[in-house]
Amino acid sequence: MSVDQKREPVITARNVSIEYEVEPVVKAVRDVSLTLYRGEILGLCGESGCGKTTLAYGLNRLLRPPALMTGGEIVFHDKSGTDIDVRALDDQQMRAFRWDKVSMVFQGAMNSLNPVIKIRAQLFDVFTTHRPEMGNEEKEKRSRELLGLVGVDPDRIDSYAHELSGGMRQRVMIAMALALEPQLMIMDEPTTALDVVVQREIIREIMRLREIFGFAVVFITHDLPMLLEISDHVAVMLDGEIVERGTSEEIYTNAQHEYTRRLLSSFPSLTGERGGFVRGEEEVA
């Protein structure tokens, strides 16, 4: 991916605010602005409940009541040169937009895959919905190619989700997200609940596929050290706001916000004394 191409924006969020309309009202995302460029990985991190997943759902118009976007705008910059106001799309336009322009890999692949339908049918469904002109033979060929791309034996296309390991299920979800070659992929803690070795395999696969297809990534996790390793830029969220952003190197070597510094110090070192992450009066060793 060239530097020039990376500086072409793919999505811009301006002053986005999202609330949960409950009693009392929860202001989950507060006046957040960000720009993601083509081919970049933006790492979005913060503790549980900070609003990072809510923001990601807002970018892709996946919010469901009682969640409501109360302010701001989201503009998708299509590679054709057209700017798309995501909030203005009607239901039919939104169905065409998802998976084709922006796809999402959800947390917990076992919950995302249908347990009573074979992998073939679930991959075919993406093409049936978005590429109705494709015949079954072409769908079969493309589905097997996608499984091979993500490191799954194409013959597992006849498997059910429960017959696959956690890592394989996550790879199938990535294959589905790649099916229409989107320009942006949002990944919501895609390695959660996987062991460390499988996590690394999934991360390497994502990096390799990004180099092949050139899509941009919003990678959401609470694992800041991992984000610093794989991301071009990192945004740190706290209480619904982005409190710090910068390149991975800037965040690692010169974090400005106290919360970011505490996040960095909360992870154990292989050398040196044991420490803890202190927030208020609470300490987590």
Q: Across residues 259-273, what is the average pLDDT?
A: 77
| Dihedral of alpha carbons 197, 203, 204, 206, sign | positive
The rounded distance, in Å, linking the Cα atoms of 268 and 21 is 39
- What is the CATH architecture of 3-101+183-284? 3-Layer(aba) Sandwich (3.40)
Tokens standing for residue 268: 């154990």
The rounded distance, in Å, linking the Cα atoms of 259 and 236 is 9
What is each CA distance from 177 to 18, 60, 101, 105, 173, in whole angstroms?
A: 25, 13, 10, 7, 6
Query: Considering the chain, what percentage of its residues have pLDDT values greater than 90?
Result: 75
pLDDT value of position 199: 85
Predicted confidence band of residue 3 (pLDDT cuts 50, 70, 90): very low
pLDDT tens-digit profile of 31-87? Answer: 999 999 999 999 999 998 999 999 999 999 999 999 999 999 999 999 999 999 999
pTM: 0.87
pLDDT value of position 285: 41
Higher pLDDT, 110 or 171: 171
Per 3-state DSSP, the chain is made up of helix, strand and coil in percentages (nearest 5) of 40, 25, 35
Task: Provide CATH 3.40.50.300 ranges for the chain.
Answer: 3-101+183-284
Residue type at position 11: I
CB 37 within 8 A of CB 51: no
Q: Across residues 259-270, what is the average pLDDT?
A: 81
Q: Is the pLDDT of residue 272 over 80?
A: no
pLDDT value of position 281: 45
pLDDT value of position 237: 96
What is each CA distance from 168 to 119, 139, 215, 223, in whole angstroms?
A: 11, 20, 22, 21
Predicted confidence band of residue 200 (pLDDT cuts 50, 70, 90): confident
Q: Is the pLDDT of residue 24 over 50?
A: yes
pLDDT value of position 198: 85
Q: Across residues 140-164, what is the average pLDDT?
A: 95
83-92, 144-153, 202-211, 231-240: the lowest-pLDDT one: 202-211
Q: Is the pLDDT of residue 193 over 90?
A: no
pLDDT value of position 278: 47
Q: Across residues 237-263, what is the average pLDDT?
A: 95
pLDDT value of position 111: 72
Q: Is the pLDDT of residue 2 over 60?
A: no
First to last CA, the chain: 40
Higher pLDDT, 192 or 253: 253
Residue type at position 81: G
